[in-house]
Amino acid sequence: MTAPLEGLKVLDFTRVLAGPHCTKTLRDLGAEVVKIEPPEGDGGRTGQPILGPMSLYFAQQNAGKRAMSLDLNFEEARDVVRKLCAESDILVENFRPGTLDLFNLGYDEVREINPSIIYVSLSGYGQTGPWRNRPAYAPTIQAESGWTDIVKRHFGDTLTSMENDAYNHGDVYSGIQGVVATLAAVVHRNRTGEGQHVDVAMTATMLWVNDRVSYELAGIDVEGEPTALSAPESPMFQMPDGSHVTIAASPVSTNIFSRYCAMMHRNDLLIDPRFVTADLRRENWDALHAEVRSWVMTFRTMEDLEAQVSSVGLAAGTVRTVSEIAESEWAIDRGAIREVDDRSGGVARVPAPPWIFEKSPLPDAGLPPFQGEHNTEVLTELGFDEAAIAGLAKTGITIEPRS
C-alpha cells in the first residue's frame, strides 16, 4: 500500500502561495518535491507569525518538501537544474511568463532534456495574450475577475474602505486547479507517454469557481430574488446562550421562504402582505429577520434547532472561530488538524489533508525546510562529489542553509 502519487518527482520553482499550495498538495498525496529557491529565498518565509527561525505561514505550505537554493545567474546552477529536470516527472513554476526562459529553462528547453515532463505554469493572466506580462497577486486578480465588485455589492456601504475579504482566493483556488491540471496531464502521459505544458491562469480560475457568473453575464432582472441558490445571503441569528448560527439559505428567495415558513410552522407568513414577493421580503428584511430570530430564540440547544431546520431540507451551522473548530469533537475524531515541527523545539498546528483514502496511506506532515537545507543531499543524489559540492557553495552558486 502506497500513497497515490508515490514515485512521482516534482521540481518546485514556486513561491509564496498559489504555486506552493499546488506542490504541497502533490507532496501530501505522496509525490517527492524538491523546492528551488533563489538567493533571497521564498517571500513566504517572511509571513507572520514567525517562531524562532521558521515562518508558520511558510511551514503550512512547504512542510515535507526538500529545499535547495541556487543562483540561476550562474551556468553551473542551471546545469544542476537541468540534471534535476532530466529526473523529474513534473515541474511547477509561478513566475511571470517568460521568466524561466531568461535562464534557458522554459518549457521548450526543458522538454529537449525530458520530453515526457509535465511543465505546469501558474500565472495571473496566462502564458499568452495582451495581459501576460502584468504582475499578479490574489487581491489584484480578485479585483480584475469581478470577485471584488461582487463583494462590494454584497456588503454595500459597509465596505467604506473597499477592502478585499479575508482570504487569498485567487492564490489558493489557482493552486488547486494547478493540481487538477497536473493530475490530468499525468493520466494523459500514462496513456500516451507524452509530456506537455499546462497553462493555469488565476483570472480564468476565479471566473471558473464563481458560481454566479451566469447571472452576472445574463443581464436578467430577477426581481429581488437572490442570485444562484441564495447561499451568500444566508442570514445569521443569535441563540439564547449568546452563540450565533447561520441557516442556509436566504428566506428572500421564494423557494426558500416557503421552507422557512414550514420549519417555523408559520403558514400565516406566506400571506403576510410584507412578504408575498422577493422584492417585498427584501424591502421588509428587518421585520422578516425578526420573525425568524424570535423563533430561533425558542431553542436551547443547537441540536434541537438543527433537527427542526433539517426537517425541511435546510442546514444550520454554528459560527465558530478556527480555534473552536480545531478543538471540536469532529476535528479531533477526523484528525483535521495536525502538528508540524517548527524547527525550534516546538510545533505549529496546521490543517491535515482533506482526503482519507481507504487503500492509500498518506505521508506524515514532514518538516518545513530551511532555505538550502537539502543542497548537499540532492546534489549527492545527482552524482556530485564532496569537492564539487563544496566548490558550488564557495562560489555562491548554491546558497548555504539558513536557519
Beta bridge partners of 348: 340
End position of a domain, from candidates 253, 285, 318: 318
Shared domain check, 142 and 45: yes
Residue 6: CB partners within 8 Å, gap ≥ 6? 30, 31
Q: Which of 289, 318, 347 is the last residue of a domain?
A: 318
Beta bridge partners of 12: 35, 92
Q: Give the CATH number for residue 341.
A: 3.40.50.10540
Do 127 and 24 belong together in one domain?
A: yes
Torsion sign, CA atoms 105, 107, 111, 115: positive
ω into residue 249 within 30 of 0, thus cis? yes
CA-based R_g, the chain, Å:
26
How does pLDDT run across 87-107, given as a tens digit for each residue?
Answer: 999 999 999 999 999 999 999
Residues spanned by the domain of 287:
244-318
> What three-state secondary structure class fits 70?
strand
pLDDT at site 125: 96
**132 inside domain:** yes
Task: Please tell me the predicted confidence (pLDDT) of residue 68.
Answer: 97
Would strands 9-13 and 90-93 be described as parallel, antiparallel, or unpaired?
A: parallel
Please indicate, yes or no, whether residues 63 and 105 belong to a single structural domain of this protein.
yes
Count: domains in the chain? 2
Angle in degrees, 0-180, between the axes of helices 386-394 and 75-87, rounded to the nearest 10: 130
Query: Has residue 4 been placed in a domain?
Result: no
239 in a structural domain: no
288 pLDDT higher than 90: yes
Same domain, 14 and 120: yes
| Neighbour count for residue 223 (Cβ, 10 Å) | 10
Sheet of 244-248, strand order: 236-238, 244-248, 315-318
Q: Is the dihedral of CA 271, 275, 277, 280 positive or negative?
A: positive
Whether residues 313 and 342 share a domain: the answer is no
Q: Are residue 190 and residue 90 in the same domain, yes or no?
A: yes
Looking up residue 260, the CATH number of its domain turns out to be 3.30.1540.10
CA neighbor of 32 nearest in space, from 1, 2, 10, 58:
10
Q: What is the mean pLDDT of residues 300-312?
A: 95
Over residues 109-139, the pLDDT tens digits come to 999 999 999 999 999 999 999 999 999 999 9
DSSP string of 111-175, one letter each residue: HHH-TT-EEEEEESS-SSSTTTTS---HHHHHHHTTHHHHHHHHHGGG-TT----SS-HHHHHHH
Q: How many Cα atoms occupy the beta-carbon half-sphere of 90 within 13 Å?
A: 33
Q: Is 236 inside any structural domain?
A: no
Is residue 1 domain-resident?
A: no
pLDDT for the residue 164: 74
Percentage of the chain beyond pLDDT 70 is 98
Q: Is the peptide bond before 49 cis (omega within 30 degrees of 0)?
A: yes
Please give the pLDDT value at position 377. Answer: 96
**DSSP secondary structure of 260-306:** HHHHHT-GGGGG-TTSSSHHHHHHTHHHHHHHHHHHHTT-SSHHHHH
Please state the rounded mean pLDDT for residues 377-397: 96
| 159, pLDDT greater than 60 | no
Does one domain contain both 36 and 126?
Answer: yes
Average pLDDT taken over every residue of the chain: 94
User: Looking at the DSSP assignment, which residues form a beta bridge with residue 33?
Assistant: 10
Residue 151: the pLDDT is: 86
Q: Whose CA is closest to 349, among 59, 12, 25, 75? A: 59
If asked whether residues 311 and 353 sit together in one domain, one would say no
Give the mean pLDDT of 38-45: 94
Whether residue 352 sits in one domain with residue 281: no
Across the beta sheet with 90-93, what order do the strands follow? 66-69, 32-37, 9-13, 90-93, 118-123, 196-201
Asked if the structure places residue 225 within a domain, the reply is no
CA-CA-CA-CA torsion sign (192, 197, 200, 204): negative
- For 201-232, write each residue's pLDDT tens digit: 999 999 999 998 999 999 899 888 888 888 88
Question: Which residue, 206, 220, 208, is CA-closest to 151?
Answer: 206
Instruction: Out of 34-43, 163-172, 356-365, pick the least confident.
Output: 163-172
Distance CA 181, CA 23 (A): 12
| Residue 72 banded pLDDT, cuts 50, 70, 90 | very high
Q: Once rounded to an integer, what is the mean pLDDT over residues 306-334?
A: 95
Grid coordinates belonging to 48: 507572520
Burial of 89 (0-12, 13-18, 19+ CB in 10 A): buried
Residues 146 and 38 in one domain: yes
Residue 193 lies in a domain: yes
Distance CA 322, CA 318 (A): 12
Cβ burial, residue 249 (10 Å; 0-12/13-18/19+): buried
Kindly state whether residue 187 falls inside one of the protein's structural domains: yes
What average pLDDT does range 242-266 have in this prediction? 95
One domain, residues 387 and 356: yes
Does residue 52 surpass a pLDDT of 90?
Answer: no
- 146 and 254 assigned to the same domain: no
Give residue 160's pLDDT band: very low, low, confident or very high (50, 70, 90).
Answer: low
Q: Could you say which of 280, 300, 318 is where a domain stops?
A: 318
pLDDT at 403: 59
